[in-house]
A and B are shown apart, each in its own frame.
Chain A
């Protein structure tokens, strides 16, 4: 499951948008999370986020912001609001089940040590 900094924030932010000293001249643009594939054969990896009015501008801005030095061959932009994150308050509880299940790892099986190609 993908998590993102900003999505997580939106569930926990306690600071209300304060009154600006003078009116802000644009309604705030949605937040997009940016994922960059650095080379063919690799996954897209979360690089950061940006604000943009629509998907097309988000892709263009992502190119300018996150791939100025050939860092990517492909970009994904995802509206931050579309990302579903695991409950940040669950802390470890949500991920605890693998504990005590060492047998899921190859290292658990010692008797076969020294056997070739195993």
Chain B
């Protein structure tokens, strides 16, 4: 059992190492270089990244659900194939991100467990229902569009494995956004009812998509630290304004409108402005009281449990083969 002195000694040794580590870490951040898994890093940096990357991974995995639900209802074989490719991509993105999160020291099973037990959060956008085929369009255009605006700067995040995962994700994400836009464009040029369906989908997904960038800057205390660590490169509001500027232009091509009559470009600030968002709703959904939270979690647990026999069989087969190899 450690005596009082032992503990102090240990602590002294640790802190000296920590000081050297901190100095090296600070220099790498100041040089805008990259931190790699074996480097010393402050506990807060490790924790923040583990939380952010794993939540990001969980969002990709839960994000498979609204679109997977529509694979059987997609209007053509081509659209089914596209949707399957997209859902497969989301699974892939989840796996890239889990790998990156794992390099910070938390095992994969523990990350899965945090999602399944509801301990970890995922993006609130996936707790909204997808009601019509037009929603597949709105999700691709607005939800994946917002994700791209958020993710492109993350390719330069100071943590190497995260940045590398994001490069891979961003390359694949633009297909998602374009196919969504095309779904809406086709509906917008269809019958009056189809046009209405597209407009309705945009009306429902506009505000939740804007809220994907997170709370306003003055309500987001962790952002400051993340920006000092070069994890985040732009604030939530900066990214949101940028996104509004993009979609207000794109919606004209669709011949549809955004459900916000306060969108305007402020010449003085050089920024896009938009109407007040309902942040109470955002926090309600975040706390688990959104329209689909319970359903999404139930499906996820179901899928995990129903897949157990496959994982067990694969493990058993691997064990048997390696035993055979040892005997031979």
Q: Determine whether the beta carbon of A9 is less than 8 Å from that of B102.
A: yes
Closest to B99 in A: A49
Q: CA A50 – CA B321 in complex, angstroms?
A: 20
Q: How many residues of A contact B (CB 8 A)?
A: 35
Which chain B positions have C-beta within 8 A of A69? Answer: 172
- Nearest-CB distance from A39 to chain B (Å)? 17
Is B288 among interface residues, defined by CB-CB distance under 8 A?
A: no
Q: Mark A14-42, 1 if CB is under 8 A from B, else 0.
A: 11011011101111110100000000000
Q: Determine whether the beta carbon of A24 is less than 8 Å from that of B314.
A: no
Q: Determine whether the beta carbon of B113 is less than 8 Å from that of A24.
A: yes
Is A91 among interface residues, defined by CB-CB distance under 8 A?
A: yes
Partner of B103, one of A5, A29, A68: A5
Q: CA A18 – CA B110 in complex, angstroms?
A: 7
Q: Determine whether the beta carbon of A21 is less than 8 Å from that of B119.
A: yes
- Nearest-CB distance from B251 to chain A (Å)? 29
Which chain A positions have C-beta within 8 A of B305? Answer: 25
Which chain A positions have C-beta within 8 A of B117? Answer: 21-22
In the complex, chain A residues 35-82 whose Cβ is within 8 Å of any chain B Cβ: 48-51, 53-54, 57, 64-65, 68-69
In the complex, chain B residues 83-109 whose Cβ is within 8 Å of any chain A Cβ: 85, 88-89, 92, 95-96, 99-100, 102-109
Which chain A positions have C-beta within 8 A of B277? Answer: none
Which chain B positions have C-beta within 8 A of A12? Answer: 37-38
Which chain A positions have C-beta within 8 A of B279? Answer: none
Is B322 among interface residues, defined by CB-CB distance under 8 A?
A: yes
Which of the four size classes fits the interface of chain B? 35 or more
Which chain B positions have C-beta within 8 A of A25? Answer: 305, 308, 311-312
Q: CA A48 – CA B117 in complex, angstroms?
A: 27
Closest to B319 in A: A53
Q: Determine whether the beta carbon of A53 is less than 8 Å from that of B88.
A: no
Q: Determine whether the beta carbon of B38 is less than 8 Å from that of A24.
A: no
Closest to A24 in B: B109
Q: Determine whether the beta carbon of A8 is less than 8 Å from that of B36.
A: yes
Is B140 among interface residues, defined by CB-CB distance under 8 A?
A: no
| Given A5-B161, A24-B109, A25-B308, A54 contacting B321 (CB threshold 8 A) | yes
| Given A5-B36, A25-B312, A14 contacting B105 (CB threshold 8 A) | yes
| Given A25-B312, A54-B321, A68-B88, A9 contacting B109 (CB threshold 8 A) | no
Q: Determine whether the beta carbon of B105 is less than 8 Å from that of A26.
A: no
- Nearest-CB distance from A98 to chain B (Å)? 19
| Given A8-B38, A12-B37, A68-B89, A20 contacting B103 (CB threshold 8 A) | no
- Measured CB to CB, the residues of A under 8 A from B are 5-6, 8-9, 11-15, 17-18, 20-22, 24-29, 31, 48-51, 53-54, 57, 64-65, 68-69, 85, 88, 91
